[in-house]
Amino acid sequence: MQPTTIASKDPVAVAVAAAIAPSDRLIVALDLPDMAAAEAMIGRLGDSVTFYKIGYQLAYAGGLSMVGRLADAGKKIFIDLKLHDIGNTVARGVESIAKSGATFLTVHAYPQTMKAAVEARAGSSLKILAVTVLTSYDDGDLHAAGYRLGVSDLVEARARQAQALGVDGLVCSPEEVASLRQIVGHQMHLVTPGIRPQGSSVGDQKRIMTPARAIAAGADYLVVGRPVMEAADPRAAADAIQAEIAQALG
């Protein structure tokens, strides 16, 4: 069965989908060891990619210094540092990131952390994304960590808290997109890692989905790392994902 396209959904969904440029929906994760490798990859991808994610690996290798240059070049940047600390510390970090030109910043979906981040980004264009439950976790992992809730219940609880606190979006596995869309409507962005094109290696992810199915389920943005970074032709891999996204949008 072919996935339902956005065009077959309600008018509100169509309008919201149209507000995001199709080329911006693919966020390529620059999960690379150093600045030279990142610069080379950006050069190879060229204008086929407009949105990049900088996570721990590259951030700690000087990657945050790229944010302003990428923004000046018309690119969007998702800083994925998953902040979580006492409120004052989170707020000071968010204030610094808000000046960098970044589009998205992640925090863990704990109420105090989300509240501090939302207040600290006021007056800037930075959008705060709350990480519900990491896509490499399943119910067993949560129970081993001391949580009494399973994945689906914890994701739902954190989504409701994030919405009430004014968080701009959620990072969730594609498996939770449809249910979260029912909870938060179209007022929050849903950003999904764990995306694997047909035939790609699953790696360490446990809750995954193809690009077309994730978009059809209601995801706004798809984060893709290894299937692009490790491809023989990264640009061709990115273009293929973009084409799949466009087809799912109808």
Domains of the chain: 6-249 (3.20.20.70)
Burial (CB count within 10 angstroms: exposed 0-12, middle 13-18, buried 19+), residue 58: buried
Catalytic residue among 53, 82, 115, 206: 82
115 is catalytic: no
- Rounded distance, CA 215 to CA 6, Å? 8
Question: How far apart are the C-alpha atoms of 76 and 220, rounded to whole Å?
Answer: 15
Residue of 211, 200, 170, 169 lying closest to 22 (CA atoms): 211
Please give the chain's pLDDT, 250 residues, in tens: 344 444 445 555 555 556 898 889 999 999 999 999 999 999 999 999 999 999 999 999 999 999 999 999 999 999 999 999 999 999 999 999 999 999 999 999 999 999 999 999 999 999 999 999 887 888 999 999 999 999 989 999 999 999 999 999 999 888 889 999 999 999 899 999 878 775 454 454 444 578 889 999 999 999 999 999 999 999 999 999 999 999 888 8
Per DSSP, the chain holds a count of helices (H) and strands (E) of 12, 8
